[in-house]
Structure formats: structure tokens, C-alpha cells
Amino acid sequence: MSHSTDGRALRIVFAGTPDFAAESLQALLDSRHQVVAVYTQPDRPAGRGRKLTPSPVKQLALDHALPVCQPTSLKTPEAQQTLADFAADVMVVVAYGLLLPQAVLDLPRLGCLNVHASLLPRWRGAAPIQRAIEAGDSESGITLMQMDAGLDTGDMLLVRRTPIDATTTGGTLHDTLAALGGETLIAGLDALSDASLTPTPQPDDGVTYASKLSKAEAELDFRQPAAALARRVRAFNPWPVAWTRLDGDSVRLWLAEAEADTAQTATPPGTLLSPADDALRIACGSEGREVLRVTRLQLPGGKPLAARDLLNAKASRLGAGQRLGQPDLGQPQESTGADA
């Protein structure tokens, strides 16, 4: 990039809210760069008492005696003047949850950078981690991006990759990418400070959008293939958690896999089959010829448990022949759950 700072430490305003963002803030605090202010979402009610609770980013900022700003909008002249008074070289944005108007993007001398949890242009938008698993991607990663007015459309500055395998869940990939995000951010800022970053425009091909997650979409349709259902279970762990219905109750499925080499005959999808030692087995696919093996699940009022423990304790309720889900659904839902 053309803006040299002669390798000196950068003055940074950080904007972020959840745990994922706190990892990047911690990496900044451990670096040679100077965080001059932290922006985060207003405190929200949380817990049984619905007590106002600071975000993980705010809590970390307070622990380090950093100035904290929690505006509900950055569109007002007053909010923009407050931001300008910090005289930052660059603003770093990580899962902030508030749109930045063009006037804010133009305020810092070196602009605004975003730590995005996907290999752009794949999975722009709200839930890139979960959609990558759900779609069956073999890898994910972090893209450090120069922000512009579009939704995750800015030039790419640095990219770091990590594999997705058959055991990766939304939670484990979140944690991996949170740590990778901090590392990528510091590498990018170090390069930015000596003007050695080269922006790369995102390609026009391969653009997908990661739509926001909902609890409703986490209900499984057992007419889908076993592999697609297993990916959904892993993607939605730990939130919103895949679920199904059993005798009017909801049952949450935490871990599952497609059974290989099954000789299953046609069976109504959603039917419980004879269990394995360590798994609940569910007929699935359009004709119920495939099998989903569920190895960890949660009954109403209980805790998540290994399937073998629940099969021992609740054998009658989880017996072969029971039917899960809604037997009279129409056409199967799309298996990716993402907007193309």
C-alpha cells in the first residue's frame, strides 16, 4: 500500500463485540501497536436475571483501562467527531455489529480493516463459519480486508487458511479462526506500518452469502441425505443446535455422522433403527435408505449426553420403530441453508 509509517507502531481504534473479536483485541494488546479506544455494542441483558452485561470486548477493554465507546449509531456528526478525536492511524473492525458509514470509513488515515472469518469472496455476510461447514467446504480461513461501503466486498490484504474435516464443529472452527484472526491481524498491521501490503481485489466468481442463523432452520428434515444432515449437526453446534421432534418434545442433536456402507432398506425417514453400541441410528434420505448415526444428544430437561448413556437410561423412549421429526412435511429443505 502507498501509506508508509516508517515501520512505527500504529494508533488503533478497535471495534468488536463477541468472543471472536476479543481474541483479535487481545492480540493487539500483546503487540507493539497502540489501542487508543475500543468501540463495542451497548450492554445487553443476559442470564437468568436478565442483568445488563458487557460484551467480551468491553470486558477486556475495561481490564486494560482502555476508553470504551458504545454508540447506537456512527451516522451522527457527534459520534463521528468523537471517533476523529482519537486520531487513529487505522480502525480495526471484527464482528462489531454496526454498519460503518462512508464518512467513518474515510476518517482514519489508513482506513478501516476487517478481520473476516472466511476465504473471501466465499461466505460474505453474517454466519460464514457455520455456512462453510454446512456446505461441505474442505477449508476455511481468515481474510484481512480493507473495508469499503459494500458488504464484505473490500480488497483483500492477507489470507490465512485452515482445513475443515469430518469432526469440525461450528464451535471448534470458531475457536481456530478466532486465534488465526488475531495472528493474521498483527501480521497485516506490521506490514501496513512499513507499506508492504498489496491489496488484491476480490474476484467476481465464487461469491456466496452466509445468511444469518435461526433456530427454526436447525430443525432437521430426515428426507435429506445423511451426509448433509451430519454437516448441519456439526455446523449448528454450539448454536443454534440441530433438533428434531419426539412425541411432541424437542430433542437436540449435538454430534452425528453418516453411516458408511449401509445396507438399509427403504424405511420412513426419521424412523429410529436398531441402535449401535455408541450411536442412535436414524433412517434418512428420500427413501430412508441412508442412516444418520447420532453420538451425542440431549432430551428435554436434561444435559447433552453420549448416545450410549442415553440408550442405557432411556431405552424404551429411544427404541427402534419410534419416529422422529414431522412425518408429513412437503419437499425436503435445501441442504446448504445458504443463499447462493
- 118 marked as binding residue: yes
Gyration radius of the chain over CA positions: 23
d(CA 211, CA 42): 23
d(CA 281, CA 256): 10
Q: Cell match 454496526: residue?
A: 98
Helix or strand holding residue 170 (H, E): helix 170-193
- 196 marked as binding residue: no
Task: Let me know: does 140 contact 162? Beta carbons within 8 Å.
Answer: yes
Q: What is the DSSP string of 33-102?
A: SEEEEEE-PPPEEETTTTEEE--HHHHHHHHTT--EE--S-S-SHHHHHHHHHT--SEEEEES--S---H
- 119 marked as binding residue: yes
Question: Which residues are part of a known binding site?
Answer: 118-121
Question: Which residues are part of a known binding site for (6S)-5,6,7,8-tetrahydrofolate?
Answer: 118-121
